Amino acid sequence: MKYDFLIVGGGIGGLICGCLLSKEGYKVCILEKHYSIGGGLHVFRKHNMIFETGIHYVSGFSQNQVLSKIFNYLQVLDNLKMKELDAEAFDILHIGEDNHKYKLGSGEENFINGLSIDFPEEHDNLKRYISSIKDLSKKFYLFNLEPRETDIFSMDDELTQPVGKYIDQFFKNEKLKRVVAWNNSLYAGIYDKTPAFVHILISRFYLDGATRFVDGSQQLADNMVKVIKAAGGDVFTSSEVVHLDVLDKEVKKIKIADGRTFEAQNYISAIHPAVTLDMIDTSQVQKSYRNRITSLKNTTSVFTLFVTFKEKSFPYFNYNYYYSPSYDSIWKASEYTAESWPQGMMLLTPPTSGENKYAEKMIINCIMNFDDVKLWENTKTGKRGDDYLSFKRKCTDKIISILKDIFPGIEDTIEYLSTSTPLTIRDYTGSKDGSLYGIEKDCNNMLSSHIVPRTKINNLYLTGQNINLHGIIGVALSAILTAGEFVGVNYLINKINEEYQKN
């Protein structure tokens, strides 16, 4: 069968893009390599417990917010189970050096008042900072779902300055400068490299209120599959794309691992652009384009510890807990030695539909560079060898030893432990080097780290976290840009807004 669109990768970006195009009457087919759909939304089961993989907390689902508008348009909001995090502190930042805990609240007032308790003399500066975040985020028409003629990336110097410089200009207190950067692990921020707009958009997104999926984020992926299928499309799992057959600047067909081939009018790759190009014969892609895409640096990765608690033994936290050994390590989580790892962690107790006085599980993320697992890069899951298992055990012991200091007695509450490494992320999502958020944005080289949906191959387009921005918000907006190549970005934005106004 010939489809209008074949989408490579059934992660968040592929699914949203597939839904947008299905709603325009196109026949869409999604090919997903994993046995289950969803990418970052996918959950896995271990010891009878569901664990999230790539979506720990989100925002934008409340009334009038951007994701509620987009997902309302896609008709996938029904029966979604979500839980708002505490407004006074949706994140807690704990600094080991002086054993101090900071509250990061959502909403202008909560954020400013929460930090003014610790930094009263900076109250006015906090106000200036928040008002700058609000003002500058208005410049992104797509983020605000406003139809415009200009490109999202026609940015001024204020937005493309290094993130560290942007934050530091507001505050006198050296500690506060770092505290305000607490969330840089949400975008793998680098002090003198990440453009300020990434911090501005991610901060604005979460300052509007943070939410978690209850019982995991898979529900959103499953709802999107229903929309695509209801429109006559297909979604195939366990279908790893291995080759794109390109001739005369056109994709002719796609081959999957079991040898089957699929054809369509247009092809959208919702996986890493460099991985996409690796699946095309060298002679069919301009050398300069391939070199540019493959030479871009990717964001760092993460080691994750998944914990199952004994019944009613550990409290549920309705916030995320960030731990940093020192103020300086906030910007330096990926700069460590074998001895000094980890330089920080972000942990959460995901909610379940039961009562949530006690936590059933905990997920602990620690930044880890791919180099740490490079030794095993040519091995496969479950067959990486004893030395890999021993490496994972050592990492687990280090994390537990920090957790014991933060939460005395936690070791007695743990029933089961499991782990994932950068190799797990690489092999399950196809993300280059297990990168958390794909290609690193570089304020010193804005143009080359900015990837657009169109490629040098006429009927091949890109979507997902490497276009525009990462995270659930970034890929949703990228999907609008990619689908907009066929029906118009403003047309989609108008339809999304009109549909929302009907409610």
Ligand X SMILES: Cc1cc2nc3c(=O)[nH]c(=O)nc-3n(C[C@H](O)[C@H](O)[C@H](O)COP(=O)(O)OP(=O)(O)OC[C@H]3O[C@@H](n4cnc5c(N)ncnc54)[C@H](O)[C@@H]3O)c2cc1C
Q: Which of 20, 190, 367, 436 binds ligand X (CB under 6 A)?
A: 436
Q: Which of 19, 49, 58, 399 binds ligand X (CB under 6 A)?
A: 58
User: Site mask, ligand X, residues 268-297, x = CB under 6 A?
Assistant: --xx--------------------------
Q: Which of 114, 209, 422, 471 binds ligand X (CB under 6 A)?
A: 471
The strand ranges marked E within 89-131 are 91-95, 100-104
In angstroms, what is the minimal distance from the CB of 429 to ligand X?
4
Judged by CB, which is closer to ligand X: 144, or 238?
238
Of all residues in the shown chain, the one whose CB is closest to ligand X is: 11
Task: Work out whether 84 is an interface residue with ligand X (CB under 6 A).
Answer: no
HSE-up of residue 57 (Cα within 13 Å, Cβ side):
31
Task: Work out whether 56 is an interface residue with ligand X (CB under 6 A).
Answer: yes
Task: Work out whether 126 is an interface residue with ligand X (CB under 6 A).
Answer: no
In angstroms, what is the minimal distance from the CB of 11 to ligand X?
2
Task: Work out whether 465 is an interface residue with ligand X (CB under 6 A).
Answer: yes
Number of residues in the chain: 503
**What's the CA gap between 12 and 271, in Å, rounded?**
10
Q: Which of 13, 164, 195, 484 binds ligand X (CB under 6 A)?
A: 13
Task: Work out whether 437 is an interface residue with ligand X (CB under 6 A).
Answer: yes
**What's the CA gap between 96 and 318, in Å, rounded?**
21
Task: Work out whether 9 is an interface residue with ligand X (CB under 6 A).
Answer: yes
Burial of 382: CB neighbours in 10 Å, binned 0-12, 13-18, 19+: exposed
- Contacting range for ligand X; rule: CB under 6 A; set: 12-20, 74-82, 137-145, 190-198: 12-20
Task: Work out whether 114 is an interface residue with ligand X (CB under 6 A).
Answer: no
Task: Work out whether 34 is an interface residue with ligand X (CB under 6 A).
Answer: yes
Q: Report cis status (omega within 30 of 0) of the bond before 422.
A: no
Task: Work out whether 31 is an interface residue with ligand X (CB under 6 A).
Answer: yes
Q: Which of 23, 27, 33, 204 binds ligand X (CB under 6 A)?
A: 33
**246-260: b (≥16 Cβ within 10 Å) or e:** beeeebebbbbeeee
**What's the CA gap between 159 and 174, in Å, rounded?**
22
Task: Work out whether 167 is an interface residue with ligand X (CB under 6 A).
Answer: no
Asked if 2 and 263 touch (Cβ cutoff 8 Å), the reply is yes
Burial of 356: CB neighbours in 10 Å, binned 0-12, 13-18, 19+: middle
In angstroms, what is the minimal distance from the CB of 290 to ligand X?
17
User: Site mask, ligand X, residues 473-492, x = CB under 6 A?
Assistant: --x-----------------
Tell me which residue has tokens 């530091």: 168
Q: Which of 430, 441, 455, 462 binds ligand X (CB under 6 A)?
A: 430
- Contacting range for ligand X; rule: CB under 6 A; set: 19-27, 50-58, 163-171, 225-233: 50-58
**Binders of ligand X among 221-260, rule CB under 6 A?**
240-241
Judged by CB, which is closer to ligand X: 176, or 241?
241
Residue in 66, 165, 44 with CA at minimum distance from that of residue 425? 44
Instruction: Report CA-CA distances (Å) from 27 to 211, 292, 481.
Output: 33, 33, 19
Task: Work out whether 57 is an interface residue with ligand X (CB under 6 A).
Answer: yes
Residue 448 neighbours by CB distance under 10 Å: 12
Element holding 234 (H helix, E strand): strand 234-236
Amino acid at 327: Y
**What's the CA gap between 193 and 132, in Å, rounded?**
20
**What's the CA gap between 281 and 259, in Å, rounded?**
17
Cβ-based neighbours of 125, under 8 Å, separated by 6 or more: 170, 171, 172, 176
Judged by CB, which is closer to ligand X: 35, or 412?
35
In angstroms, what is the minimal distance from the CB of 55 to ligand X?
5
Task: Work out whether 60 is an interface residue with ligand X (CB under 6 A).
Answer: no
Judged by CB, which is closer to ligand X: 284, or 466?
466
**What's the CA gap between 213 and 202, in Å, rounded?**
18
Binding site for ligand X (CB under 6 A): 8-14, 31-34, 39-40, 54-58, 240-241, 270-271, 302, 365, 425, 429-431, 436-437, 464-465, 470-472, 475
